[in-house]
Structure 1
């Protein structure tokens, strides 16, 4: 189990993590989300002992990572797929890690097979694609068969088959009772992968709850309506108190009125309908709504 309590990290006058507290439990995949600059990577670095907190604690099974002499047996982490030395082969990279953690060569062969790199294990890492480096990083995380696993943007560079494989791997690891924490900016993948979410912005906690609970808090129900007479329907809906916007393809997006009420109103006004589709917001939309005040950089729009 991962426990972060009142964690604060400052770099000079900049506060990267600000009084952050959350718990990640075993047997579940937890997504770690936040805008760029939210403090996700800093938090993960503190968890694996690469950075010291200014205040507070970040522990794994009740103790700091640094207290474990052979850390890969307790925590596996992929923080940057480019960390492996480009002049080494993939196999040599893993063998060096295995030796430093008291693990045998047979385990290296096992994880290379598991991540699909056995056939290219003798190739230098510098010649690997980004997707292959991601697989090598995942192999390193799995090397010690640890109960706790941390992954920072593990899907970068993976093709669709690789994304599906990683998703299934995370589910399998959680099913085995391990603690799995994934930092990612790919909301669509988190919808298919995570059960719980920890969401932060500007170093502070925004939410720590199930994915379903988070999506429900940010949900904006609406109904997509298509009609050959949008002007008349828009006027009727506005008069009834609904909020109506016209989409780029000409469909109407209606809020504050149910699909049934819209259908009844259109029938009463003799306005034909070609589509009447209730819709709920995606995780991405909920995320943008809940973290809108925490975005560090915003792109400008041409006028």
Structure 2
């Protein structure tokens, strides 16, 4: 478990992380989302003791990360797949990590096989593609068989097979009761992988809730209705505060009310419904809507 309490980080006059309080629970995949510059990487670095908080605290299983002897046995992390010595082989890199954390040497071959790099174990890392480096970084995170795992943008550079493999890996790790914390900008993958979301903007907490609950906050969702008496249904719905856009004589698109409420109102007014279809909740749409006020870098801004 990861617990942050009033976590704050300042760089001079700039507040990168502002009074964050959240818990990352074991047994589920928790996505960590936010616009560029929101403070996600800084938060991850504070969890790992790489940056010292200006205020507040963060613990891993009740203890600051620095208090865990042989850190890789407690927390595995991938922060930057490119931050690695290109002159070493994949096997040599992991062997050094294993030796420094008193991890059995046999574990190196196990994780290389698990991430699909067994055949490239003796190759120099400098010749690896970004996707291969991501796999090696994941191998390093898994090396100590830790109960807590952190990943910052782990899908960058992976091909479709690799993305599918990582998705299954994260779900398996969570099913084993581990704490899995994943920062990513790939909304479609987060929608398929995460169970819970922590969303920040400009260093502050915006949301801490189940993924489906967060996605349902998308206020742009609409409901398509088909009825032989669209005018009467429109009157009933607008009286409840909904908006109805007429698409044909019998079909309208409704915003502002759920499908269940529309169905109830149609029943109350004795209006026949031939179709009542809700749009699927979109994590990307909800994210864009809810974080709009926290975006620091907008493409195409007027100068």
Whether TM-score is above 0.5 comes out as: yes
Q: Please say if residues 130 and 157 of structure 1, whose CA atoms lie closer than 8 Å, have aligned partners that are also in contact.
A: yes
SS state at 2:86 partner: coil
Aligned to 2:109: 109
User: Aligned partners of 2:159 and 2:246: how far apart in 1?
Assistant: 36
Aligned to 2:123: 123
1:154 corresponds to 2:154: yes
User: Aligned partners of 2:24 and 2:181: how far apart in 1?
Assistant: 7
Structure 1 residue 287, shift from structure 2 partner: 1.0
SS state at 1:21 partner: strand
Please tell me the root mean square deviation across aligned C-alpha atoms, in Å. 3.0
Change (3 A) 1:186 1:245: farther
SS state at 1:168 partner: helix
Structure 1 residue 293, shift from structure 2 partner: 0.8
Change (3 A) 1:84 1:243: same
How many residue pairs end up in the alignment? Answer: 290
User: Aligned partners of 1:145 and 1:24: how far apart in 2?
Assistant: 18
User: Aligned partners of 1:225 and 1:122: how far apart in 2?
Assistant: 61
Aligned to 1:139: 139
SS state at 1:80 partner: coil
User: Aligned partners of 1:254 and 1:63: how far apart in 2?
Assistant: 51
Q: Please say if residues 89 and 121 of structure 1, whose CA atoms lie closer than 8 Å, have aligned partners that are also in contact.
A: yes
Q: Please say if residues 222 and 280 of structure 1, whose CA atoms lie closer than 8 Å, have aligned partners that are also in contact.
A: no
Q: Please say if residues 220 and 280 of structure 1, whose CA atoms lie closer than 8 Å, have aligned partners that are also in contact.
A: no
Structure 1 residue 253, shift from structure 2 partner: 4.8
User: Aligned partners of 2:301 and 2:277: how far apart in 1?
Assistant: 31
1:30 corresponds to 2:58: no
The residue correspondences of 1:59-70 to structure 2 (distance < 5 A) are: 59-70=59-70
Aligned to 2:21: 21
Aligned to 1:6: 6
User: Aligned partners of 1:238 and 1:157: how far apart in 2?
Assistant: 52
SS state at 1:207 partner: strand
User: Aligned partners of 1:260 and 1:2: how far apart in 2?
Assistant: 43
Structure 1 residue 210, shift from structure 2 partner: 1.1
Residue segments in structure 1 that go unaligned for 5+ positions in a row? 227-232
Structure 1 residue 277, shift from structure 2 partner: 3.9
User: Aligned partners of 2:78 and 2:87: how far apart in 1?
Assistant: 19
Structure 1 residue 239, shift from structure 2 partner: 11
SS state at 1:131 partner: helix
Aligned to 1:230: none
Listed one character per residue, the Cα deviations across residues 135-193 of structure 1 (whole Å, up to 9, x for unaligned) are: 00000000000010000011111111111100110111111111110001111111111
The residue correspondences of 1:277-292 to structure 2 (distance < 5 A) are: 277-292=277-292
TM, length-normalised to structure 1: 0.86
Aligned to 1:229: none
TM, length-normalised to structure 2: 0.86
Change (3 A) 1:160 1:263: farther
Structure 1 residue 278, shift from structure 2 partner: 2.4
Residue segments in structure 2 that go unaligned for 5+ positions in a row? none
Aligned to 2:41: 41
